[in-house]
A and B are shown apart, each in its own frame.
Chain A
Amino acid sequence: MSTQVTEKSDEKEEAESTEQSPGERRREEKAKRQQEKEAETPELIDEADETVELKIFRFDPEVPDKEEPRFDSFTVPYFEGMTVLDGLIYSRDNYDSSLTFRHSCRQAVCGSDALLINGTQRLACKTQMVDLEWPIRVEPLPHQDVVKDLVVDMEHFYEQMNAVEPYFDPDELPEEDREEQKQRPENREKIKLSTRCIWCGACMSSCNVAAGDNEYLGPAAINKAYRFAMDEREGGDKKEDRLRILEQEHGVWRCQTQFSCTEVCPKDIPLTEHIQELKREAVKSNLKFW
């Protein structure tokens, strides 16, 4: 929250100090930044103008008290620009250190904090509290087993992702050693959105079909297949192979075009569109007029 302020004071510092060694200077800056941060970020709830209530799903099979799933309410101070992840971190640091959830990058890149927030799959770090109705309800992703609190078992999701063999297998490699493999800009444009997946699992969790059919590849895996199938550098045989995987019973044909995945994808990947295109691709590769 105080990043910008710190950056500004950094610049000032650099201009002023001349005699210190770089290490000293850095340590001093760090201490200063720490102080500033402490002053900037009131930890006390009564210093905030507003507070927001978080209702958080709790479950832990190893703690007798938490064996029965329940919701805990935490009141956290609200500051402008605050995300749901900030609220979760505050709750964990100030109320209950056993509150468990995944997060890492805090900037919608690592894909580890997809949660069910107010009934919709969203990345906690990308969801502004102002955009939500309060109190905010935070639950683990539906249709995955809950391991503890907000942590779900992602193993099955990763299995499906790997089931479409997400790697290149080109027919021919560039002749010269270390020569790059070129792709036309138009082709890059075509697969651009599909490459943005961060493996968060929001789409799979939102999908009604995936909920009913555990073997369904799911939107993310199909999108991953699209990323390679539509890439002109991919080899013909591999493309065939991958289409075979996609047109199986639990492949693209399971999609009922409900658009739930497209709706929740934090990277705005047009998932349904990609699935539909692969359906047509599968039909085309099987149609023979003889």
Chain B
Amino acid sequence: MSSTYDRGTVENFGRWREFSAGMWAWVLHKFTGWILIGYLFTHIAVLSTATGVDQAMVEANEDIYTNTLQDLEELVIVRFLEIGLLSVAVFHILNGIRLLMVDLGVGLESQDKSFYGSLALTAVIAVASIPTFLGGVF
């Protein structure tokens, strides 16, 4: 027993196929949480640098802020990203509520079902949002 073999940390990722519901919920919660943070900062950066104070331009609907938003909304990719953002936010909120329940010790036996429920509800809401987000693009 002179030496031992340490298989390292990489093995965790190799086993993703065997992840259980709770593990997927954790991975997705982290992922969505950080996406939301990322979005929040981009959002602030874009909007805070797109403000013009020229009153005449504002009245003519030609100010930088309006232009920026209109330009962005014209991009198809942005419309799709918006659906993605909504899904990410909805999942994070639903699973966040699930996690709060877990913290309170409520319904721990059905934690896997509430995870699948969060996923399903997220999917439904994402699909339902398509007409709104993609309306007038094509």
Contacts and interface: CB of A to CB of B under 8 A. Distances in A.
B119 to A, nearest CB: 16
B21 A259 contact: yes
Contacts of B105: 273, 276-277, 280
Given A142-B11, A273-B108, A280-B105, A257 B5 contact: no
B43 interface: no
Interface residues of A, number: 30
Contact of B5 (A59, A208, A212): A59
B22 A258 contact: yes
Interface stretch (B12-20, B50-58, B59-67, B83-91): B12-20
A259 B1 contact: no
A119 interface: yes
A80 B24 CA distance: 35
Name which of A59, A259, A263 has the most chain B CB atoms within 10 A of its CB.
Answer: A259
B26 to A, nearest CB: 5
B49 interface: no
Contacts of A256: 26
Interface stretch (A10-18, A47-55, A146-154): A146-154
Contacts of B17: 119
Contacts of A280: 104-105
A260 B22 contact: yes
Interface string A256-284: 11111011000000101100110110000
B71 interface: no
Nearest to B103: A276
A286 B67 CA distance: 54
Max chain B Cβ within 10 angstroms of own Cβ: one of A148, A153, A258, A260: A258
B132 interface: no
Nearest to B7: A142
A276 B108 contact: yes
